Amino acid sequence: MRIVLDAMGSDNCPAPEVEGAIQAAMDFDIELTLVGDAARVQPLLEQHTPLPANLSLTHAPDTITMEDKGLKLALKAKKKNSRTSMAVGMDMLKNGTADAFVTAGNTGGALTTAYFRLGVIEGVERPALSALVPVRGGFCAVLDIGANPDCKPEHLLQFAVMGSIYAQSALGIDNPRIGLLSNGEEAGKGNELVRETYPLLEASGLNFYGNIEGKELFGGEVDVAVTDGFTGNVLIKSSEAVAKLLVDMLRESLMGSLRTKLGALAAKPAFDELKRMLNPDEIGAAPL
């Protein structure tokens, strides 16, 4: 597996990227390429000797910043000779010298660069952002979670196609079950968008489960949950916030008396496991 990591993505780049890359190269049997400004990345790499043999650097002098948007962003993303770290990295996917690209940078930048340089699956008009949400017994791919706040029924159908392919190829699930997020399980429930999407999914040849609510999603009844980017974003952020509130409340409750403090200490392995599952750092990235 050949992975390209954008060295210029995070707010404090490139130090965290370099550190993460070195650790990943040591821990996993992968070929890792950092892509970014050599003048800034090389000195950091030189502080670590010896460098893992499976880690290399590809120079990309330009960067998409968190402030880039609109036409400026589109040009950086689209220009044939663009030398941003995202463009250089994604071109490696395009020409087959890498298998995956990872960035902590500007989401719109990644979306736009991927759209112009990698294109989209035939028939898909808009790329979507997805999240792998921990559910009972595994994960559910939820999409769109923010790229497209206003959608048409055919977009949701396309998200279902992309989600199904993603669940098959990346999660190894045969014939993934696709759910349509709605305000009720029965066919006929939903807002206008959902009610018009339902028959498209029914006729799609996909493994369509029907409308789902939170309980089917988090109960692990489907592998892919399809929704517009507004609702999906609200769903993801609210779920994270509920989980955080619960864990905080539980911690405060447990610290309330000596008895519960002792109990919490004894039960620590269980809490650690829960914390690991809930940690957005473990699953917070959004496949595109």
In the complex, which residues of this chain contact a copy of itself (CB under 8 A)?
A: 135-136, 146, 149-150, 181-184, 190-192, 194, 213-215, 217-219, 227-231, 233-235, 237-250, 253-254, 256-257, 259-260, 262-271, 273-274, 277-278
User: Cβ closer to a copy of itself: 193 or 201?
Assistant: 193
CA distance 19 to 38: 15
Given 3-state DSSP classes, what are the helix, strand and coil percentages for the chain, each rounded to the nearest 5? 45, 15, 35
Closest distance between a copy of itself and the C-beta of residue 144, in Å? 10
CB 150 within 8 A of CB 162: no
User: Cβ closer to a copy of itself: 113 or 182?
Assistant: 182
Helix (H) or strand (E) holding 182: none
CB 223 within 8 A of CB 167: yes
User: Cβ closer to a copy of itself: 5 or 180?
Assistant: 180
User: Cβ closer to a copy of itself: 123 or 269?
Assistant: 269
Closest distance between a copy of itself and the C-beta of residue 133, in Å? 9
CA distance 141 to 278: 16
Closest distance between a copy of itself and the C-beta of residue 142, in Å? 10
Output the six-digit token pair for 195.
């009610």
**CA distances in angstroms from 56 to 7, 30, 40, 252, listed in the order given:** 12, 11, 14, 46
User: Cβ closer to a copy of itself: 62 or 196?
Assistant: 196
Closest distance between a copy of itself and the C-beta of residue 190, in Å? 7
Closest distance between a copy of itself and the C-beta of residue 87, in Å? 26
